A and B are shown apart, each in its own frame.
Chain A
Amino acid sequence: MRRLFGYMRGVGWRYAFGVLCTFATATLAMLVPYLLKTGIDAIQAGQYVRLSHIAAAIGGAAILMGVARWFSRFTIFNCGRDIEYEIRKDLFERLMLLGGGFYERLRTGDLMSRMINDLSAVRMMAGMGVLSIADTPLRYIFALSFMFSMNARLTLATLAPYLVLFAVMKRLTRSLMERSLRVQEGLAEIGSKVQESMTGIHVIKAYCVQEHDAQTFRQLNDEFNQQGLALARLRGSMMPLVRSTVATAVMIVLIYGGTLVQRNAVTLGELIAFIGYVGQLAWPTTSLGWMISIYQRGKAAMRRLEEIYDAALPASLPALNGELEIAGQVEWENVSFSYFPRLGADTNGQPYALREINVKVEAGTKLAIVGRTGAGKTTMIKLLTRLLEPTGGRVLIDGRDVREIPLNELRRVIGVVPQEANLFSQTIAYNVAFGRIDAGRGEILDAVRVAGLDGDLAAMPRGLETVVGERGMSLSGGQKQRVTIARALIYDAPVLVLDDALASVDTETERMVLENLTEGVRGRTTIVVSHRASTVRDADQIVVLDGGRVAECGTHAELMAAGGIYAELFRRQLLEEELAAY
């Protein structure tokens, strides 16, 4: 919460202005019933001139109140919007810096819900919440002082229903919140049921599960139905509750106040003013309940956001003097890694994803890493780029531990083509120049050509300016991968990493891209992760990973002669490729 107050101080003056306007609004609003009283008094006394003055005063108050209310509402609400904007901005910048461990813990969906739902709860607190806090007490103070000055006993009698309303509302809003939360959850459950069934539709059809599945859905649906009705039962009572509180108070004014008028203890004008105040207090009293729940929700939401603020950033080092110049020698020195270092075991009972890896790549040479899914290939790459930190051992670039190089500098010397394309829904040019905003058109075209994408681009009417659909929907898998290759090439780093980068490309295209690449990567250290024989056979060094360990290591010829895992892998690979060629 202290953090939120910090943000609120940032717009302090505007809050102050907004609150001032709110005070003005409340004051004027509470003045109107009093003016009404004097008006009625004037009518009863038959003073027409005085009456017209009072009417003019009411009109004037209305205009002033309108202006004040306008400023008060949008100023305070906009403070809320500004705070929302600032928090969202700060959180986003933070999110972009947070490392792999954080994203293992909090998934995209969870983060999105924090950034959308929780943030909007905080904004409600900073907007609507602040307005109510400024408005309600003042209205009460004014109304009570006017009412008490007119007749204390009538005031106490009139306020009785409000005490009841307040007590009921406080309880009601809490269960209202709980029930609407349950409805939200119910809807989410229905959503994930639909998601699951639609994803598995082929199984549902093949095994004739439709009717059974619809039965399951009907159950969820009925439950949701009941939750919705439970919410409606409560919500339905809100509005009449408020109205009948007002009406009960009006009735008390009429009956008890009426006898007082008959006894000449109060004037008719005062009675009318009472009716006015009673009406004016209704919504502030209701909103008191809302205020409490807005505050509670906002506080809980802020706590969830603070988790992002408080997540530890990867240790940052002082920037280097000048650019990092490296030759490109890479070494994994006795590297071990576990995703669950504290448990010492992952879910499948394997303690380590990588164990005692010793691999050295000389500058300008090509290393290939092969192995089955889950053998630890990608983990090796993530350790090099410090998306992960080793549990034991060191990863070195030119003999320096990567942890001793500032993160940005490190990543500027390594160009990565990751397994998943992860394109952004912008133009192809934007995606290619992702890491080099200053890249010229010529450079982009060059990279595109080397990546073997120029032919595909020629077929697209808008060429480089083609907008990639969300998550790259409109491009084929192979096209997306080649965009990511171009993206890494233009990055022009001394170390190039291709993490299974050509898996979705057919063999013909792959050969072409590889030929182009030999030209493109000349002089760079290249690290290729692949399961395809044709991609790796010309590497200077091939490392075969199995169960997190280096099982074999050598050139293609050496490994073929050894007749181990690699030779078997290569044979199977060839079969598939030959079948593909026909």
Chain B
Amino acid sequence: MESELERRRPTASYDWGLLRWIWAFVRPYRAMFWFSIVLMPLNTAFSLAQPYMIKLTVDLFLSPRAGHHPPVWLAPLLRNAGAHGLAVMGAIYVLLLAGEFGSFYGQFYLTNIVAQYSLSDLRLALFEHVERLPMAFFDRNPVGRLVSRMTTDIDAINEMFGAGSLTLLIDLLTLSGIIVIMFSLSLRLALWALVSIPPLLVVIRFFQVRARVVYGQIRDRLAALNSYLSEAIGGVSIVQLFTRHAETAREFDLLNRRNRDAQMMANVYEAGLFSLIEAISTITIGLIVWIGGGEAIHRLVGLGTLVAFIEYARQFFMPLRDVSSKYTVLQSALASAERLEALMREPVTIDSPARPRTPAAKSGSIVFDQVHFSYRRGEPVLKGISFAIEPGQKAAIVGATGSGKSTIIKLLNRFYDVDSGRILVDGVDVRDWDLRELRRNIGLVQQDVQIFTGSILDNVRLSRMDLSEAEITAALQRAQALGFVQRLPARVHEDLRERGSNLSAGQRQLLSFARALAYDPRILVMDEATSSVDSETERLIQLALVELLAGRTALIVAHRLSTIEKADRIMVFSHGELRESGTHDELLARRGLYYRLFELQYARLRGGEAGAGAEGQSR
């Protein structure tokens, strides 16, 4: 299995493009960003000056010998201090310490502020962008994927700011600073101290290549392990019903074992690199003691220089230890940035026109004119649908699953755009309407009622913050929902869990009616619920439906016979075509499709009874 990381096109220019893209979000905070960058060399300077102070202390006070003079900046200070020279050194040391602490903390916190703010802007921008994307996008992309874009992927970029690339910069500064200082202190000693670097780089490279393979394995094996685990837990009843425990446990064991083995291999490599660098660091110290000590004996370098070299060598190898893990962080951040950038590039294909048209009067008329539509190219769902609904008319759409019924209502409020033909609402093409205006005008009641986390009030009100509690209560009343709401402990303030799991299906229906009533749209489109409810709730729904439909143009995908019979017009759909249209009585009188439907139903009923009876006898 190829993992996402490896699949990336690893071209440098491409990565620069991504970094530029991220930069667009960092830009508003660039002052802080640059300030934190400026603090970096400052921090390096403060920390690298400390061993130098040790050197001076040793050379001037602890192992003084002829020819050692304090540097020009230090001489006047020491002259004034007289016998308290050591105290002066201590004071300078404290200053350096404070400088290091301050610059590091400032740098770290500023970087985090920049990261947090710019990534939170990015997250908000993504969220707003995604909510504007057309429904077709949501058909293609599972929700889980979008969630991980806005959490995991953004977090990976945060990691880069926090722990990855920027500290890589500090490390680089530190390394080059140490090299410069070493060479300026003693050329010969510096060469000896750094002699292990070229072979060390080769070894790091070797580990890096190996580690990348192993990390790839770990990623894939861990993913396989966890997805098996989640499937097995989700399907545990199947495992039990088919008595497959032993085999399932064996399969899981294999995945578990493979994951463990890869993890162990990674530990071997990681511990190897860690130990190797530590060892080389110590060997280098031995080398410095040996070579430098010899020179010190011959008075070629001061003891202080030697001590400083030992300190510098310690600091030099520290960052090398985790350079490869930081590189990994950078890589995965770029992979995440790539996915996010692609998401941001998704075009908003359905939006308000630049100059929207407003209809002369919002009366609620609907016209479908030769509408063709397909979700996927070559698979037409609607084939030239034309009909007109007068203001205030109630139209019922009937037809089999897949006949295109629900598509009609999705096109009306522009969830999708037609392939050809046009849809007019109040005489204006829906594509010329201001989108908000259009959708405000059309109330939608769907089969599967979406409940959001929040109170009943929030769920009815949605974005209409101008509606008062009294108005919402009135809407609940008219939707026959107030009865059950008032039996809830906190009434309208009762908190609903996501997907409304603490409400019954019927109660959710009534709530969605209240939602539509509160918005008071001219047009109502409804996908009638098929789920059966108890007779009391059914009665409430019928009552609420009357209220809901009163004075509105309505387009209903109908499942209940009562709804169909009461409609001003019934439209019979079949395979993407409008086959018949008229009132219940007209259609029956026409003796066409709708009539045959009923005719057949009764015939089948009689035949069914006879057939079943015959079968019963034959047994």
Contacts and interface: CB of A to CB of B under 8 A. Distances in A.
A561 B50 CA distance: 100
Interface in A411-467: 411-412, 414, 416, 418, 422, 424-425, 434-435, 437
Interface stretch (A42-50, A152-160, A351-359, A389-397): A42-50
Contact of A67 (B105, B275, B559, B593): B275
Interface in A211-250: 211-214, 217-218, 221-222, 224-225, 228-229, 232-233, 235-237, 239-240, 243-244, 247-248, 250
A51 B307 contact: no
Contacts of A203: 444, 446, 450, 462
B619 to A, nearest CB: 7
B289 A582 contact: no
Nearest to A348: B504
A437 B239 CA distance: 13
B452 A200 contact: yes
Interface stretch (B9-17, B257-265, B421-429): B257-265
B492 interface: no
Given A70-B275, A77-B267, A411 B112 contact: no
Contacts of A251: 90, 93-94, 97
Given A209-B462, A556-B612, A250 B279 contact: no
Contacts of A279: 314
B401 A32 contact: no
Q: Number of contact residues on A: which range applies?
A: 35 or more
A89 B256 contact: yes
17 contacts: A44-B303, A51-B293, A70-B271, A73-B271, A96-B249, A192-B498, A198-B138, A205-B131, A221-B124, A228-B116, A232-B162, A236-B109, A251-B94, A255-B87, A373-B531, A425-B227, A471-B234
Contacts of B586: none
A44 B143 contact: no
Given A66-B276, A69-B271, A108-B230, A232 B109 contact: yes
Contacts of B616: 555-557
B116 A93 contact: no
**Max count, chain A CB within 10 A of own CB: residue among B117, B280, B532:** B532
Contacts of A211: 463
A321 interface: no
Contacts of A575: 561, 597, 601
Interface of A: prevailing SS: helix
A250 B267 contact: no
A100 interface: yes
A191 B147 contact: yes
Given A51-B293, A214-B127, A235-B108, A92 B442 contact: no
A290 B1 CA distance: 37
A581 interface: yes
A553 interface: no
A232 B280 CA distance: 34
Contacts of B450: 199-200, 202-203
B294 interface: yes
A145 interface: no
Interface string A364-385: 0000000011000000000001
Contacts of B264: 74, 78, 81
Contacts of A206: 413, 415, 439, 442-444
Contacts of A89: 249, 252-253, 256
B190 to A, nearest CB: 17
A388 to B, nearest CB: 10
Contact of A61 (B117, B271, B282, B612): B282
Contacts, number: 424
A537 B124 CA distance: 56
Chain B interface mostly helix, strand, loop or mixed? Answer: helix
B233 A247 contact: no
A115 B117 contact: no
A94 to B, nearest CB: 10
A254 interface: yes
Contacts of B498: 192, 195-196
Contact of B271 (A48, A77, A100, A372): A77
B510 interface: no
Given A73-B271, A92-B249, A579 B444 contact: no
Interface string B530-545: 0110100000000000
Nearest to A412: B243
Contacts of B463: 207-209, 211-213
Given A51-B297, A108-B234, A221-B124, 11 more contacts: A39-B293, A63-B283, A85-B256, A199-B450, A200-B450, A208-B436, A208-B439, A372-B532, A538-B612, A578-B600, A582-B574
B494 interface: no
Interface stretch (B55-63, B334-342, B547-555): B55-63
B188 interface: no
Interface in B132-160: 132, 135, 138, 143-144, 146-147, 150-151, 155, 158
Contact of A214 (B57, B128, B442): B128
A198 B143 contact: yes
Interface string B236-269: 1111111111011100110011011001100110
B120 A224 contact: yes
B325 interface: no
A259 B62 CA distance: 8
Given A115-B229, A272-B307, A582-B400, A73 B131 contact: no
A16 interface: no
A195 B148 CA distance: 10
List 6 A-B pairs, minimum CB-CB distance, nearest first: A66-B279, A435-B242, A55-B290, A58-B286, A212-B463, A580-B400
B417 interface: no
A411 B597 contact: no
B274 A221 contact: no
Interface in A304-333: none
